[in-house]
Structure 1
C-alpha cells in the first residue's frame, strides 16, 4: 500500500508532496482509497462534504468505531503526515482479520478532505463542514491563490457542492474516532514507538495586510517612502519575540507582495501568521501583542495595518475515558499533548475522539525530511489493531 501511494503528487524538484484539495493529485489519492476499500469488500461512500468512507458492518447501526486520517499535504510536505494514518487503518483491519476476531460494532475507515488547508487557507475543511464548525456560506467564500472558488473546484472534480454542510446524521453513527498520526515533534524520540494524545493546543491563522504606497525603488527618497515591507519584516521579528516570552509559537510562513517587482516599493504585503499556545488566553494575548507591534511600526512607516482572523480552533482535551482506555490497552504508553491540529480535534466537539502518535526520529514535519522508521510504523499498526479490537470486537 505504501509503495502504491508514495509517488502520487510528489515533486521531482523538492522530493516533497503537493497533494492539494480537489486537484489531479488529490483525485489519484482518492482513487487509491476507493481501491483499497473495494479490495477488502468494504462498503464505499463519499459524504456530502467530499470525505471518503469505507464501512465494515451496517453504517446505520450506530455506535461505530472509526479510524483514518487524511491524504492531502502542505506545499512540499512529507510522506507521513496524514497518509500514515490511512494506510495504517487498512493495515490494522487486515491484521484484525488475520486474528480471526469477531466484530461486535461497525468499523469504518475515513479519508477527510482538505485537512491541511494548503489550497483554500482553512485547515480541516472536510471535518469542519461535517461538524458544523465551518458553515456552507463560509466554505463558498473560500478562494485559492488563483481566485478559484472552493465550490467550483469541487464541482470540476465531480462533487456536488450544493450538498455541503453540517452532517449530524453521519456523525451520529460514530461511537468513537481514533486517528493515528506521525508525531510532529520529538517527545517520543527517546521513549516508545507509540504514544497517546492528551490534548491539542489552541491555534489559528491570521492574515496581516500591510498597506503602503507603490513607488520607484531607485528614485524615491527614504523619507518619502511608505514601504509596507519594513513593517512586515519588523512584525515577523516581533512575533518571534512575543511568542518566545510567552512560551507560545508564532510563525509567518506565507507572504504575498503587490506589485512584486524587484525595482518597486510594494503597495501591499500580506503575511499569514500561524500561532499556537498551551491555553487560549495566552494565544489571544500573543496575537494582540503582535498586532500592536505591527500597528506601532506601521505608524512610523506610514503603513496601515489590518488584521483578519481566518481560522481558529480552541483547546481540545481528548475524551478522557477513551484516552485512558487506549493507554491501558497499550500497556501504559506515553501520553502527550500536541501543538498540531487534526481532524480528530475538530470532531472532538461532536463525538468521543482519541489519537495515537508514531515516533518521528527527527521531529521534522511538513517537510520532505519527515520520517518514521518502518519498525515504528509497524508498531503503530499493531497498536491501532489492538485498540480497534478492544473497541470494536469486545463492545
Structure 2
C-alpha cells in the first residue's frame, strides 16, 4: 500500500527551473563553475530554499552548505542526503541540482507533514563535485570524509586563479578546510538522488533505478612534446610530430576500453602553436578512465599509459603523463539498498538494480558511511549538455523514493 506522504512535485520543479536560470547562457545551457560568481549566486538560492523549508542552515569550513532537521534523538548519527550545484561548461539543469533540491523538498515534506523520525536528517550541497575548474573533483565531500589535501589549494583554473584565491573570495578559510571532516560514527547513512546520465532506465521503461555500484576512475593529463617546424619545408621522415603520436594514442584509448569492458574518454585536446601551416610542437590531452572493477581499472590505466609512451617513442616524441585525480569503485551498502527498495515499494514506484557509470559525491562519503544512490531516468541518456532532461514526473518520483528512504533510515 502506498504511503500518504509525498513531496510537492510542482514546487520541486519550480525550484529546478529557478536554479537553472542562474548561470544560464543563450544556447540553453548552464555554466556554474565551482566558486564562480554564478555558483555563489546559486548557493545563496539554495540556502534560501533550505531556510524556507525550516532547516537549520550552516556552511562548513570546506564550503559545504548544510541544512539540518533535528529528530527526536538529536544525539544520534545523522542520515544525510545531498549532491552539488556546480556544473561543467554549458551543462544541463539536472546533474547534481536534482539531488540538492530534491533533498530539500524531501526534508521540507517531512517537516510540513509532521513525519516522526528519530535520527537527525541533513541535506548537503557539496563544494566542487565536477572538478572542472581546478582539475580535482569531490573537494567538499572528500573534506567531509577526512580526505582534504592542502596541495589542492595551489591548483589553478584557466585564468590562473588558484583554489586558495577562489576560497578566500568566497569567504571560506583555505587553511581550515580539513576541519570539515565528520567525526567517526556521526553519519548513519548517506543516500544521493541523481539523474542516471545514461540510457539504461529509459530502455527499461522505468523512472527510477537503484545503484548497486559506482565506477572507479582515473584522470590522466598527457603531454607529448615534439619539434615545431615549417609545414612546407620539413620532410616527412624528419618530423617529430606530437599530434600524430597523440592521435595514435587516443585511438588506443578506445581499443583499451573496448577490450576491458570499461569506458575511457579523451575530453580535451590542445595543440601548440596551433597554426595551419606549422607542425605542432606540443599536443596535450586528457583521458578519463572508468570501470566497476578496481583491478581492471588499474590494468586499463597502465595499458593506456604504456601505449602513449610507445607511440611517442616511435615518433621521437617526449611523453609526460600525470595522474590528476583518482577514485576507486564503490559498492552501495546492502542496508541502504534495502531501504531504497522498501522506499520504492512504499511509494509504489517500480525500480530495479543498475550500475552507476558516473561518479558522485557518494564515492567520497563511502569512506565514512554506508551509501546508496537513487537514479532518475534521463531522456536519451544525455548529460553534461544543454539537452539534458528528466521529466517533472520522473523528478517527482525520484524525490518521493528519497522521501520514503530517508524516513526508513531515520527510524532505524
TM-score scaled by structure 1? 0.94
* Structure 2 counterpart of 1:337: 355
Does residue 203 (structure 1) correspond to residue 217 (structure 2)? The answer is yes
Worse-matched range after superposition: 278-287 or 23-32: 278-287
The offset of 1:53, in angstroms, is 0.4
Check whether the contact 2:340–2:401 (CA below 8 A) recurs between aligned residues. Answer: no
* Structure 1 counterpart of 2:37: 24
The offset of 1:98, in angstroms, is 4.2
C-alpha distance in structure 2 between counterparts of 1:222 and 1:166, whole Å? 57
* Structure 2 counterpart of 1:121: 135
C-alpha distance in structure 2 between counterparts of 1:329 and 1:8, whole Å? 32
Check whether the contact 1:62–1:172 (CA below 8 A) recurs between aligned residues. Answer: no
* Structure 2 counterpart of 1:320: 334
TM alignment of 1:266-305, pairs within 5 A: 266-305=280-319
Q: Which runs of 5+ in 2 are unaligned?
A: 1-14
* Structure 1 counterpart of 2:382: 364
Does residue 177 (structure 1) correspond to residue 195 (structure 2)? The answer is no
Q: Which runs of 5+ in 1 are unaligned?
A: none
Check whether the contact 1:360–1:372 (CA below 8 A) recurs between aligned residues. Answer: yes
TM-score scaled by structure 2? 0.91
Check whether the contact 1:135–1:166 (CA below 8 A) recurs between aligned residues. Answer: no
Does residue 72 (structure 1) correspond to residue 86 (structure 2)? The answer is yes
Number of residue-to-residue matches in the alignment:
392
* Structure 2 counterpart of 1:254: 268
Check whether the contact 2:218–2:301 (CA below 8 A) recurs between aligned residues. Answer: no
The offset of 1:316, in angstroms, is 0.3
Question: CA RMSD for the aligned pairs?
Answer: 1.8
Task: Please state whether the residue corresponding to 2:379 is helix, strand or coil.
Answer: coil
* Structure 1 counterpart of 2:68: 55
C-alpha distance in structure 2 between counterparts of 1:146 and 1:239, whole Å? 29
Worse-matched range after superposition: 59-68 or 114-123: 59-68
TM alignment of 1:71-110, pairs within 5 A: 71-110=85-124
C-alpha distance in structure 2 between counterparts of 1:242 and 1:354, whole Å? 30
Does residue 229 (structure 1) correspond to residue 252 (structure 2)? The answer is no
* Structure 1 counterpart of 2:4: none
Check whether the contact 2:24–2:31 (CA below 8 A) recurs between aligned residues. Answer: yes
C-alpha distance in structure 2 between counterparts of 1:62 and 1:85, whole Å? 24
C-alpha distance in structure 2 between counterparts of 1:330 and 1:283, whole Å? 32
Q: Aligned to 1:378, which of 379, 393, 396?
A: 396
Check whether the contact 1:326–1:387 (CA below 8 A) recurs between aligned residues. Answer: yes
* Structure 2 counterpart of 1:139: 152
Worse-matched range after superposition: 166-175 or 201-210: 166-175
C-alpha distance in structure 1 between counterparts of 2:328 and 2:55, whole Å? 35
C-alpha distance in structure 1 between counterparts of 2:249 and 2:53, whole Å? 52
C-alpha distance in structure 2 between counterparts of 1:362 and 1:260, whole Å? 35
The offset of 1:21, in angstroms, is 0.8
* Structure 2 counterpart of 1:349: 367
The offset of 1:166, in angstroms, is 5.5
